[in-house]
Structure 1
Amino acid sequence: MTRNFIQPTRRNVLQGGAALGALGLAGMPAFAQTGKRGGTVRVALAEGSTQDSLNPWTYTDIYMMSVGFATHSTLTEIDPSGELVGDAAESWEGSNGAQTWTFKLRPEVTFSDGRKLTADDVIGSLKFHAGEESGSGMRTTADLITGYRKDGDETVIFDLDGPNADFPFLMADYHFILMPVEDGQVNWQDFIGTGGYTMESHKAGVRTQLKRRDDYWKPNRAWFDEIEILYVPDVSARQNGLQTGEVDIMSRVDLKTVGLLERVPSVRVEEATGFLHYTFPMNTGLNPYDNNELRLALKHGIDREEMVKTILNGRGIVGNDHPIAPSVPYHNTELAQRTYDPDKAKFHLKNAGLDSIDLTCAAADAAYSGALDATVLYREHLSPAGINLTVDRKPNDGYWSDVWMQEPFCACYWGGRPTCDWMFSSAYASGADWNDTYWEHERFNELLLEARGELNADLRGEMYGEMQQIVSDEGGVVVWAFANYVYAMTDKVAHGPVASNWEMDGGRWTERWWLA
């Protein structure tokens, strides 16, 4: 049977090192966009916490992602068209069947203290996330690297534990910011980076102040003179601040009142469709969530259409209990869409040996705007199936440290990833630090390794399609929607084409936007 999977636009079939090398040589940055330099911008973000740390191990949301991208570089970045381009790396080349990757660094890249970025800094920055002692959310990804070599100060060579055609994409992750190595140790504490801004002050859960570097090595990036980032968890406060001019940009518009905001003459509401998805993860290592029949009952017991209409105000599409968005290469278009069916939910509950059950789901709007309302609506959907859900309202502050991956059932969001391997490796692989369902599946993990090294696109698509089916049918997560990123700004703010791999221009708004 011929399967209909969306295929990658960046490549069809990669056969060996020569083709892989061509991919890297095309990865040059688009610095031609001309903005306007100057001014101070104030930004109100919904995400953040008093427990935020400068250590990139701990970054979880747009707040520290914005700070990290403002002050540091990564080897690669994803541009507004979804293509991979170079950031601190000017090119990259795969060899040995995509098991070895060589990155050439730009000679002009310097840290904010004047030092030149070297291969030793890159190696130290990646090693920092690896190993059993690491507390990084990207530890399992860093552990793919089994060997680090350099050829002079401007060439870094990574040997992997197996073929990985997507490895250069992983180097764009916001955790993998490049930091200086001093006396053999990475210095993250002083926040010295190669980005366009320096940190003037930082108070976790309150504000961060940034100042532009006069010696920034990118000629047409980092337009603002100064940036003030504010943690404002209350959506009404963010929107009021935008309307009164107290702030210039806000994240996460209230979708229930977005129409009112759109009518404000000085305000521009924008949205982008990317990989963002909203979920209810459950700990599959704990009773009763270790029973897949119960998990299926929870998946059939949610009215996704009503959730999208009510919670997202129609600004998104229904999910199907796996994390691969329709825009991601190898999305499985043949997977039957799960629909609301209380009778089927009741059937699976009975298969679990239960006539009814009482469950608790923790939630706060820190998870995403409307998360509490979504959980309350989910409770109503589950009731006809005999599933009695109690909504445990949690504080916004500390949600990602005290609730997510701590409570057995909760509301959650994922920014998503631009490749199947990246998404699955981050949150579904056995032993992944951010496997928030604590899920283990032997066949899934076998396919993950096989697909990672498969250079034939058709075979790779077959594998990723099966993995989506496994997660949807046996995984421990309800993925109810892929949502649009919706944010707003005053007419003082301008920008070029916007990336959608993360909210607010892939998290790189600090470098790409300017004051008109």
Structure 2
Amino acid sequence: MTIINSGGLNRRRFLQTTAATAMAASMPLGGALASTPKRGGHLRIGKAHGQTTDTHNPGTWENGFTIGMAFAIHGRLTEVLPDGSVGPELAESWEASPDAKTWRFNIRQGVTFHSGKPLTPEDVVASIAFHRGEDSTSAAGPIVAPIENISIDGNTVVFELSGGNADFPFILSDYHLTIHPAKGDSIDWQSADGCGSYILKDADFGVGCTMERNPNHWRDNVAWFDSIEMLALVDQNARTTALVSGDVNVVDRLDLKTVGLLARNQNINIHSVAGTQHFTFAMSTNQAPYDNNHVRQALKYAVNREEMVEKILFGYGSVGNDVPVGQGQQYYNTELEQKTFDPDKAKWHLKEAGMDSLEVSLSAADAAFAGAVDAGILFQASAKECGIDLKVVREPNDGYWSDVWMKKPFSAVYWSGRPVQDQMFSTAYTCGAAWNDSFWCNDRFEELLVAARAELDSTKREAMYFEIQDIVSNQGGVIIPMFANYVFGTSNAIGTPEKMASNWDMDGERWAERWWFA
């Protein structure tokens, strides 16, 4: 992580007054970052996400607002630690059979929900089962699909999988797989009764929510703030102004064009963390012309990736190669040829598709990612040199994820990525997955993904993931031109750990638990 430093919100008042290479560890260049955590204070945070269509249903969570809230008020069986490893949360320990097909998770005792109800193995079974089944519409459906049976043995929950999965404890850290009270043959998600370190007091989706520390949480080394107010501030300028004016203490997804100016403010610390976040353009491969792989390849060669990293990310990121795997992740394909802007190759693929030219429309909004519309304009300019007339359609921010994403055939998207490849591919690339935003299906990919998941030999597993990435890059329906660092800002009154997690934005979205007032 790199830190650059040079120096209860009333919503009505707020609206009236507001119209890079990452390093493994960091040293503050100013301000009070490194200090001993202590209790107290009311945190005010502005998030770049949040829409009126959000709900408490864990199967539907898909943006930074709902993810941040979920990590604060709910618990999961496991968690990804700042060093990238997986650690225990509601599961105190676990063990696997030699073939990694059967996993036994010992449930932590003495944990209660905010309502006072004790956590039981039955709650765990019901919460995971909520995402399973042929009729499930949960975005977590694909990652729990390999679970064939869940049973209870005393205080232990036993998972039997269709095949071996060495990454299964990572899978259970997914933000969708929160543990809720069992209710009938399902779970009570409507009440937002969690067992996390903060209690939700109220939520007005699309506006904000307030939370208070859970005095009965099972661990005492987290949750330093007395209370938290999180606002959905999708507008980039409003979010930045709120941080500068002191109306909020923290904002995510800074405007990279103004980071240099913000760094001059002695009251602000800017953090840059490299991880798995990537920005994409998803093509609906079930619709013409994107059902033709030559068209998809032409569009991939029509992107000037280096220019996007320079002008959209301002160097806070790296070039992507149409695979959702970060260069620092295990089994990253180092032998895959890097795609570059190549008008000749783009035109060749168009010709192979039987076309002399191509006209397409790209939907984008800042809700997709900061600079998404500008990225589309850059794409438009480079594509023109390839015989492609690309029209950029600026879509509304509110409702982008419900009305545009996976509704319009070509759209800008952001992904935070996942800690392991199987989780990312299962969530967004397997045929029929709820979040397969290119509607892509490939038999060889499906075969390899299942085999790689069960393979315990590291050398064989690497070969499979190398081939999987080659297939996704050269046959898939998603253009991934760049990986973006997580760049966010805090007032210098906020204390943060020396090392932050990079599996999600803002310390793995565990800021509510891991940060404090310095």
Alignment TM class, shorter chain as reference: over 0.9
1:283 aligns with 2:284: yes
In structure 1, the residue matched to 2:65 is 63
Post-superposition offset of 1:216: 1.2
- The separation in 1 between residues aligned to 2:270 and 2:44, in whole angstroms, is 17
- The separation in 2 between residues aligned to 1:188 and 1:424, in whole angstroms, is 27
Letter in 1 for 2:82: P
In structure 2, the residue matched to 1:337 is 338
Gaps of 5+ in 1: 1-32
Q: What secondary structure sits across from 1:388 in the alignment?
A: strand
Post-superposition offset of 1:417: 0.8
Matches within 5 A, 1:250-269: 250-269=251-270
- The separation in 2 between residues aligned to 1:442 and 1:188, in whole angstroms, is 36
Q: What secondary structure sits across from 1:85 in the alignment?
A: strand
Letter in 2 for 1:439: W
Matches within 5 A, 1:403-482: 403-482=404-483
Matches within 5 A, 1:235-246: 235-246=236-247
- The separation in 1 between residues aligned to 2:125 and 2:264, in whole angstroms, is 50
In structure 2, the residue matched to 1:359 is 360
In structure 2, the residue matched to 1:94 is 96
In structure 1, the residue matched to 2:52 is 50
Letter in 2 for 1:240: T
Letter in 2 for 1:219: D
Matches within 5 A, 1:117-136: 117-136=119-138
1:507 aligns with 2:503: no
In structure 1, the residue matched to 2:230 is 229
1:183 aligns with 2:184: yes
Post-superposition offset of 1:278: 0.7
Post-superposition offset of 1:34: 5.4
Contact 2:364 2:376 in 1 (8 A): yes
- The separation in 2 between residues aligned to 1:172 and 1:183, in whole angstroms, is 25
Gaps of 5+ in 2: 1-34
Post-superposition offset of 1:183: 3.4
Post-superposition offset of 1:51: 0.6
Post-superposition offset of 1:141: 1.6
More displaced stretch, 135-144 vs 437-446: 135-144
Of 23, 33, 41, the match for 2:43: 41
In structure 1, the residue matched to 2:394 is 393
- The separation in 1 between residues aligned to 2:344 and 2:312, in whole angstroms, is 24
Contact 1:34 1:220 in 2 (8 A): no
Q: What secondary structure sits across from 1:136 in the alignment?
A: coil
Aligned sequence identity (%):
48
Q: Which runs of 4+ in 1 moved over 3 A?
A: none
Q: What secondary structure sits across from 1:57 in the alignment?
A: coil
Q: Deviations over 1:472-505 (max 9, x none)?
A: 1111111001110000010111121210000011
In structure 1, the residue matched to 2:312 is 311
Q: Deviations over 1:377-411 (max 9, x none)?
A: 10001001110011111000111111111110010
Post-superposition offset of 1:513: 0.9
TM-score by length of 1: 0.92
Q: Deviations over 1:412-463 (max 9, x none)?
A: 1111011111111111111211111111111111000110100000000000
Letter in 1 for 2:216: D
Letter in 2 for 1:110: T
Letter in 1 for 2:461: R
Letter in 1 for 2:284: N
Q: Deviations over 1:194-231 (max 9, x none)?
A: 10111111001001000111111111111111100001
More displaced stretch, 361-370 vs 143-152: 143-152
| Distance of aligned partners of 1:145 and 1:37 in 2 relative to their CA distance in 1, 3 Å threshold | same
- The separation in 1 between residues aligned to 2:145 and 2:344, in whole angstroms, is 45
**Number of equivalences:** 483
Post-superposition offset of 1:269: 0.4
- The separation in 2 between residues aligned to 1:79 and 1:245, in whole angstroms, is 30
Post-superposition offset of 1:96: 5.0
- The separation in 2 between residues aligned to 1:295 and 1:134, in whole angstroms, is 30
Q: What secondary structure sits across from 2:422 in the alignment?
A: helix
Q: Deviations over 1:303-322 (max 9, x none)?
A: 10000000000111100011
- The separation in 2 between residues aligned to 1:445 and 1:323, in whole angstroms, is 16
Letter in 2 for 1:242: L
Contact 2:127 2:186 in 1 (8 A): no
TM-score by length of 2: 0.92
Post-superposition offset of 1:184: 3.7
- The separation in 2 between residues aligned to 1:91 and 1:218, in whole angstroms, is 16
In structure 2, the residue matched to 1:169 is 170
- The separation in 1 between residues aligned to 2:451 and 2:215, in whole angstroms, is 47
In structure 2, the residue matched to 1:211 is 212
- The separation in 2 between residues aligned to 1:392 and 1:167, in whole angstroms, is 40
In structure 2, the residue matched to 1:85 is 87
- The separation in 2 between residues aligned to 1:179 and 1:435, in whole angstroms, is 26
- The separation in 2 between residues aligned to 1:145 and 1:347, in whole angstroms, is 44
Q: Deviations over 1:125-182 (max 9, x none)?
A: 0000111222210112222111111112x21000111111111100000000000013
Contact 1:94 1:101 in 2 (8 A): yes
Matches within 5 A, 1:25-36: 35-36=37-38
Contact 2:75 2:194 in 1 (8 A): yes
Q: What secondary structure sits across from 1:325 in the alignment?
A: coil
Q: Deviations over 1:58-77 (max 9, x none)?
A: 10011101111111110000
In structure 2, the residue matched to 1:220 is 221
Post-superposition offset of 1:360: 0.3
Q: Deviations over 1:217-263 (max 9, x none)?
A: 11111111110000111111111111111000001000011100111
Contact 1:277 1:323 in 2 (8 A): yes
CA RMSD for the aligned pairs? 1.0
- The separation in 1 between residues aligned to 2:454 and 2:146, in whole angstroms, is 12
Letter in 2 for 1:213: N
Contact 2:277 2:414 in 1 (8 A): yes
In structure 2, the residue matched to 1:29 is none
- The separation in 2 between residues aligned to 1:452 and 1:80, in whole angstroms, is 24
Contact 2:39 2:225 in 1 (8 A): yes
Letter in 2 for 1:92: W
